[in-house]
Amino acid sequence: MSDLQLEIKHLIIEALGLEDMVAADIGADLPLFGEGLGLDSVDALELGLAIQKRFGIKIDAEAKDTRQHFANVASLTAFVAARQTA
Amino acid sequence: MSWIGLDRLLLTPDASRQVTPDLDHAELCRRALHLGGQLRGQQVQRVALYLEDAADLAIALLGAWQAGVQVLLPADAQAQTRLQLASRIDLWLDALDPAGAAAPLQAHALDLDQCRLTLCTSGSSGEAKLIDKNLRQLSNEVAALEQLWGETLGDAVIVASVAAQHIYGLLFRVLWPLCAGRAFLRRAQPFPEDMQRTSLEQPGFAWVASPALLKRMGDNLDWTALQPLRRVFSSGGALPVEAAQLLHAQLGQWPTEIYGSSETGGIAWRQGDTPWQPFAGIELSVDAEGALRLTSPYLPSGHCEQTADAVELLGDGRFLLRGRLDRIVKLEEKRISLPMLEQALMAHAWVGDARLGVIQQGRAFLGALLALSPAGVHALRNQGRRSVTDTLRQHLAGHCEAIALPRRWRLLSQLPYSSQGKLAQARVEALLAAPRPTLVEPLSAVEHDGEWQLELEVPLDLAHFSGHFPQTPVLPGVVQIDWAQQLARQLIEQLPPRFVGMEVLKFQQLVRPGDALQLSLRFDASRGKLYFTFRNGDKACSSGRILLGPEQ
C-alpha cells in the first residue's frame, strides 16, 4: 500500500467521522459509495472538499469523470497523484 | 413560451416546445399516452414510480393520470419500503420501456380533483407516512410559483441537485417547468462541478438545489461564467447564513429559500437572512406550544395542518422560524424519524434500550446510545465492539436509508434516565459527542483500617478495548496499574507524586467489558508502597505494589 493510499484512507475516516474504522478496513478497490463502504452523495461532497483542501488540488469542473475518480481508494489515489504532478 | 395547465399538458402536442434539451413536448405526449394505454391494458389501478430520470417521471405521471391510475412516489427503494407499500400498489415501475407497444390512449383534460398523487415521508410514529394530494393542490402551487418567479426565469433551463421523487424536486424541477414550457435536465447533479458543467452547456439556467449542495460549493467554481444563473432555489432544510452569503458575494443575488413540507407544500420563501414571506392565500396561526398551523391552497380545502415547527409571527404577516418541536430530525434535507430507528434497534436481541441523537462534525450524522442486553454484552465480550456495531448497522440497513445509519456508537450497561424517567435529548447528544471513556468511576469507596475497598464496573465502551484486542476485548494490565494509582490519588491524601517502579506484579485472570471488580488499595507510607488487588468475586485478577517517591 502506498503512503498516499494510506493517507487517503485516513482522510476518509477522519473527514466522514467513521470512528470505528481503521485504514485496513478500506480495501483499495472497495467501492466507496452505494454497496461497499456505503457512503452517500453528501459524503462525496465532503470528501471532494477534504481532498481538494488537503492536497491543494482542484476537481476539474470540465471533466465528466469526477464520479469515476471517487469510485474507490485506488482510483482516488491515482487521481490525486496525477493532479499533484500536473 | 406559453403556460399549459397541469390538467391539459397532453392535449396539444407541440414539437417546438422543449421538455428537456433532448425531448420535445410532442414526444413526451406520445410516450405518456402509450404508457397510459399500457397501464390500462394491464388493469393497473395504483402504481409506484421510482424513476431517477425526471423526463421519464413526467411521462409516467402524465400517462398514469391519463389512464386514471393513482400514483405513489416512494421516498426510497429499500426492500423494507417496497414490502411496506406492496399492499397499496399493483405495480412498481422503476424503468420505462421506450418501445411502448400498447395502443395509446386518447388525450383528454384531467380532472383536477380526481387525479391523485401519494408522497411518502417519515412520520413521527416511525412508520413511513403517506401524504395524499390531488392534482388541484399541485396545480395551484405551480401556478403560484410561475406568478412569483416566471418572468425572471424566462427560458432558463432548470438544473437540479435534488431528486424529483420528493415534493420540492417534483414541483420545482418537473411539474412547474413542464407547465411553463421551460426545459429541465433529466438527471440530478450531485457535485457543484457537475452543476456548473451541465449549466454552462445551456444558454440560460436556474438551479433547484438544496443546502447539502449550497453549503459545500468549495472554491473551484467559475463564478464569472456562472453569472447568467437566473435564480438559485434552496429547500429541504435550513440554509446556513454563510452559504447564502457566499452565493450573494459571488453571484450578486441571494438564493431563494423555500420553507415547506411534503404535507403542506410550500409555505413561505425568503431571500437572505430576512423573515419568511408566506405564499399568497396561506393563512398562518400558532398553537399553544408555539407551533405553526396553516391553511393553504396547496392543502385540501378547509384543512388546517398542524406542523411541529416553532414560529414567531410578525406584525407584517411574515414570520421567523424557531426550530422543530418533535423528534424528527433532518440530515442533509432527509427527514429521519428517531423513534422509528430506536424501535428498529430495540427489536435486535443485543439491544436493551436505545436513544439516537445528531452529531455535527463537518457533516451531520446520527449517533446511537445503547444499553446492551445480556446477549449484547456476551456478543461484545466474545466478538468485540466492531462486530457488534457492524451487525447492528446491517440490521438497521433494512429499515432506513444509508444516511440514517449511525456512525458513532456509545455502549452502556444502562441509559442514564433521570429519577423521573426522562432522558433529555441534549444529554443524549452530549454523551454521544464525548470521546469513549479511558477511566472508570467507582460505584462505591469505603475505608477500613487504612485499606480502601472500591466497587468498579469496567465500562463496556472503554477506548482501550478497540486495539486490545479487536475481537476479544481485554483490559490491559498497564491500564489496571494506572487505574489503581489514579484512584488512590483521589482517595488517599499526601501520596508521593512520583512513580518509581513496581514489584511482584501478578496478572491471574482476564478482565473483560462489563466485569464487576473490587479494588483494594493500601498505602504503606513508611516504605512508599501502594498495594493494590483487583478481584472479580472470589477470583484475584491482578495484584502488585506501586513504588512512589518524592519529587526529584
Q: Beta strands B498-507 and B451-457: pairing type?
A: unpaired
pLDDT in tens, B202-257: 999 999 999 989 988 888 899 999 999 999 999 988 888 889 999 999 999 999 99
Contacts with B, A 17-76, CB within 8 Å: 17-20, 38-46, 48-49, 52, 58-64, 66-67
Helix A3-15 vs helix A41-55: crossing angle, to nearest 10: 130
Displacement of CA B258 from its chain's centroid (Å): 19
User: Which residues of A fall within a CB distance of 8 Å from B221?
Assistant: 61
Q: Using CA atoms, how far apart are residues A5 and A21, in angstroms rounded to an integer?
A: 15
pLDDT in tens, B463-493: 999 888 889 999 999 999 999 999 999 999 8
Per-residue pLDDT, averaged over B97-123, amounts to: 87
CB contact under 8 A, A20 and B196: no
Chain A touched by B492 (CB under 8 Å): no
Instruction: Indicate if the pLDDT at residue B515 is higher than 70.
Output: yes
User: Which residues of B fall within a CB distance of 8 Å from A33?
Assistant: none
Flag residues of chain A having pLDDT under 70: 1, 86
Per-residue pLDDT, averaged over B524-530, amounts to: 94
Written as nine digits, the cell of B226 is 456562472
Instruction: Give how far B455 is from chain A: nearest CA, Å.
Output: 30
Domains recognised in chain A with CATH numbers: 3-85 (1.10.1200.10)
Q: Using CA atoms, how far apart are residues B164 and B120, in angstroms rounded to an integer?
A: 13
User: Which residues of A fall within a CB distance of 8 Å from B222?
Assistant: 61
Q: Select the residue of A17, A20, A44 nearest B191 (Cβ to Cβ).
A: A44
The pLDDT, as a whole number, for residue B421 is 64
Banded model confidence at residue B426, pLDDT cuts 50, 70, 90: confident
* Lowest mean pLDDT across B62-76, B118-132, B424-438, B483-497: B118-132
Chain A touched by B362 (CB under 8 Å): yes
The pLDDT, as a whole number, for residue B127 is 61
Report the share of chain B in percent with pLDDT over 90.
78
Other Cβ atoms closer than 10 A to B179: 23
Q: Using CA atoms, how far apart are residues B233 and B208, in angstroms rounded to an integer?
A: 5
Q: Using CA atoms, how far apart are residues A62 and B97, in angstroms rounded to an integer?
A: 32
Displacement of CA B14 from its chain's centroid (Å): 41
Most confident by average pLDDT, B117-121, B277-281, B290-294? B277-281
Displacement of CA B473 from its chain's centroid (Å): 32
Does residue B163 contact residue B188 with C-beta atoms inside 8 Å? Answer: yes
User: Which residues of A fall within a CB distance of 8 Å from B434?
Assistant: none
Helix or strand holding residue A49 (H, E): helix A41-55
A/B interface, count of CB pairs below 8 Å: 73
CB contact under 8 A, B402 and A42: no
Chain A touched by B435 (CB under 8 Å): no
Which residue, among B172, B77, B68, has the nearest Cα to B120 in the 3D structure? B77
CB contact under 8 A, B213 and A40: no
Chain B touched by A16 (CB under 8 Å): yes
Q: Select the residue of A38, A44, A61 nearest B220 (Cβ to Cβ).
A: A61
- Checking B447-453 for CB contacts under 8 A at 24+ apart, the result is B447/B491, B450/B522, B450/B523, B451/B520, B451/B521, B451/B522, B452/B488, B452/B491, B452/B492, B452/B519, B452/B520, B452/B521, B452/B522, B453/B518, B453/B519, B453/B520
Instruction: Give how far A46 is from chain B: nearest CA, Å.
Output: 7
Report CA-CA distances (Å) from B89 to B29, B71, B82, B163: 25, 9, 10, 22
Other Cβ atoms closer than 10 A to B441: 9
CB contact under 8 A, B216 and A49: yes
Q: Using CA atoms, how far apart are residues B490 and B247, in angstroms rounded to an integer?
A: 55
Closest chain A residue to the Cα of B332, Cα to Cα:
A42
Does residue B205 contact residue B229 with C-beta atoms inside 8 Å? Answer: yes
Q: Select the residue of A18, A38, A61 nearest B196 (Cβ to Cβ).
A: A61
The pLDDT, as a whole number, for residue B124 is 46
Banded model confidence at residue B125, pLDDT cuts 50, 70, 90: very low
Strand pairing partners for B334? B331
Q: Using CA atoms, how far apart are residues B408 and B350, in angstroms rounded to an integer?
A: 17
Closest chain B residue to the Cα of A64, Cα to Cα:
B194
* Lowest mean pLDDT across B169-178, B339-348, B540-549: B339-348
Per-residue pLDDT, averaged over B544-549, amounts to: 95
> Is this structure's pTM higher than 0.90?
no
CB contact under 8 A, A49 and B193: no
Instruction: Indicate if the pLDDT at residue B50 is higher than 90.
Output: yes
| Sequence-ordered alpha helix ranges (H) in B261-373 | 338-346
The 3-state DSSP class for residue A23 equals helix
CB contact under 8 A, A16 and B212: no
Mean predicted lDDT score pLDDT of chain B:
92
Q: What is the DSSP string of B122-157?
A: E-TTSSEEEEEEEHHHHHHHHHHHHHHHHHHHTTPE
* Lowest mean pLDDT across B118-122, B357-361, B462-466: B118-122
CB contact under 8 A, A18 and B191: no
Helix or strand holding residue B103 (H, E): none
